[in-house]
Structure formats: structure tokens, C-alpha cells
């Protein structure tokens, strides 16, 4: 790590030199120390990050990725935290937040060029306002478009792969790359960059012109279905498990007798067994123990291995 006197942050350490260098690239008010990750995940779970940086543009991200790579300081990129389970011990390193300060949307005919920090629900609403169809499925997905591109987020028969024309990313060395739809190699809840140290900074969406009233009606229909079937009143990370081939995770969990099963503050939702919810004071370990129990029970009952959609961060 770079030299200089140390600034104590929880159980982590970061040198004053690193802090001063970060301030060369982003405003000081964008840098938070000992920031609880529970404030930045939809699970509302997670200990303190040593350093939490609000990113405003691709240039800042490029400089920071290059610098943090050079000094070998651990870093992670965060969107809306809608599919993350962060350790109760927090994160020892720098969190780069691509969020509310990077959510510009530009409309170019039937295309939308969107910064990665924009929420998918926000982008879907903007598309509807412009009379553009193709994003109705995304209106209730809680993540950012950047995270959605990485995970190929989808719902109700639609997914990002159907509309993503181009994805701009920054690699670990700070190089800006442009990937087209084929290069992204989209699959079920995955893409070519899911396991790569790439950060999405912008996505170009290819949509189609439609009737605004029809688009709005479809979005309202899907919203009603979500309210009816999903435990939106509790913190969660959405669907906890990927859909196993030939099955539905929630149905397997229910048939295993685990509806409402609880460990600590973590509970299998009574409304939709595919969701693990935070009833108010769940810890990361509560959720991890419950996930493991669910996986073991479903395996015993049906011989099916449930793979998590939720990503564990420590």
C-alpha cells in the first residue's frame, strides 16, 4: 500500500496518501469513511466499508481503477446493491458506487443511451414517457442498468439481452471498451463480463416506437402482479435462487415444507418462497445459514441443487 500516515477505519486501514490521491480525482464530499453497507443494499444488511466513493462520471472511474490497481488496494463496484449480501464484518477496501450521480438518460430516436447508475425502473419510466416499448419488463426490477447488463436481468419474459445494443465498460487497468450484443454473450442471469473485472459505465438500448398508453398499461399490469406475488414490504435481494432447469425454485422450497421457515431475522417469505427476507434485524450469517438450510432440504427432497442469484461480499 502507498505510504503515509494511516487513517483508522473500523478494522481496516487506509493510508492518508491513498485518501489524498482519491481527493485528486473526486470531490472530498463524495468520499465516505466507515460507511455502513447496510445503507446501500436492498437487504439492508452489511457492515462498514473502509472507504465508499460516489462516482460521477466515467473519467473518475477510469482514474480510480488505474490507481487502485497500481497500489493493489482491494476495490469493488456497487450499483443499487439489489443482489448483494454483504458480510457483517463489512468490506476491507474501497467501494466505488456507480449510482445516483451517474444516471443520465439520452434519447436518440428509438435508442436510449443511459449511464450505468440509472435504476432500471427509472429507465423504463423514461422509455414509456418517450413512447418507446421493450423495457416494460424492467419497470419493477430494483437494480441499476449497469448491474442489469452484467446479470442479464429479466422478468416476465423480457431481459436486458433483448434490448442492449452496446455496453461500455472500464477494465481493471482503466481502459474504456465498447462491447456489442454478441460480444456480451448473454445467458440466463449472466453475461461475458460477469466474471470479468469490468465496470459498466453506459448502455445503449435499442427499443421500438409504441403507443404510450399501451406501454403504461403493461407496466401497471406487471406492477400489480409483483405486489400480489412478491414480498415487497420487506428488505430482500429479490429472487434468492436461480431457476433450476425444469423447475421453479419457489415451488421446490414450498414443497420442501419451508414456507415461513426462519433463522434469526432471516425468513423464507410466506408470500413467495423464492424470496428470503429480512424481517428487521437479520444478519448476514442469518441469511447465509438459511440459504444453506434451504439448499440442503431441497437437495434431500428433490435431488435438485439450488444456485443462488445473490452474491456474497466480504
Active-site positions?
189, 239, 309
**How far apart, in whole angstroms, are the C-alpha atoms of residue 220 and residue 158?**
16
User: CA 25, 31, 34 angle in degrees (round to 5)?
Assistant: 145
b/e map 195-206, b = 16+ CB within 10 Å? eeebbbbbbbbb
- Cα distances (Å, whole numbers) of residue 129 to 132, 219, 256: 8, 12, 44
Q: What is the DSSP letter of 101?
A: T
Supply φ then ψ for residue 276, to 5 degrees: -100, 130
Do 231 and 271 touch, CB atoms closer than 8 A? yes
**How far apart, in whole angstroms, are the C-alpha atoms of residue 300 and residue 298?**
5
Amino acid at each position: 500500500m502507498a505510504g503515509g500516515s494511516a487513517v483508522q477505519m473500523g478494522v481496516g486501514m487506509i493510508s492518508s496518501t491513498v485518501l489524498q490521491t482519491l481527493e485528486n480525482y473526486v470531490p472530498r464530499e463524495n468520499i465516505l469513511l466507515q460507511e455502513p453497507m447496510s445503507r446501500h443494499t436492498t437487504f439492508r444488511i452489511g457492515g462498514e466499508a473502509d472507504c465508499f466513493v460516489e462516482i460521477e462520471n466515467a473519467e473518475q472511474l477510469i482514474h480510480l481503477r488505474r490507481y487502485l490497481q497500481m497500489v493493489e488496494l482491494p476495490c469493488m463496484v456497487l450499483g443499487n446493491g439489489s443482489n448483494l449480501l454483504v458480510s457483517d464484518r463489512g468490506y476491507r477496501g474501497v467501494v466505488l458506487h456507480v449510482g445516483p450521480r451517474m444516471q443520465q438518460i439520452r434519447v436518440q430516436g428509438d435508442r436510449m443511451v443511459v449511464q450505468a447508475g440509472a435504476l432500471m425502473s427509472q429507465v423504463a419510466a423514461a422509455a414509456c414517457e418517450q413512447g418507446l416499448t421493450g423495457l416494460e419488463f424492467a419497470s419493477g426490477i430494483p437494480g441499476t442498468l449497469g448491474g442489469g447488463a452484467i446479470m442479464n436481468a429479466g422478468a416476465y419474459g423480457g431481459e436486458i439481452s433483448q434490448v442492449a445494443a452496446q455496453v461500455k465498460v472500464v477494465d481493471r487497468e482503466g481502459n474504456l471498451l465498447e462491447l456489442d450484443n454478441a460480444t456480451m454473450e448473454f445467458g440466463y442471469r449472466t453475461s461475458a463480463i460477469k466474471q470479468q473485472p469490468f465496470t459498466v459505465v453506459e448502455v445503449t438500448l435499442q427499443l421500438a416506437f409504441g403507443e404510450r398508453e399501451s406501454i403504461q398499461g403493461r407496466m401497471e399490469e406487471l406492477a400489480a402482479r409483483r405486489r400480489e406475488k412478491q414480498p415487497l414490504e420487506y428488505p430482500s435481494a429479490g429472487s434468492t435462487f436461480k431457476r433450476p432447469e425444469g423447475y421453479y425454485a419457489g415451488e421446490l422450497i414450498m414443497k420442501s415444507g419451508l414456507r415461513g421457515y426462519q433463522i434469526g431475522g432471516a425468513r423464507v417469505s410466506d408470500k413467495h418462497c423464492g424470496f428470503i427476507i429480512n424481517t428487521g434485524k437479520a444478519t448476514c450469517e442469518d441469511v447465509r445459514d438459511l440459504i444453506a438450510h434451504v439448499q440442503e432440504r431441497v437437495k434431500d427432497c428433490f435431488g435438485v441443487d439450488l444456485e443462488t442469484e445473490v452474491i456474497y461480499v466480504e
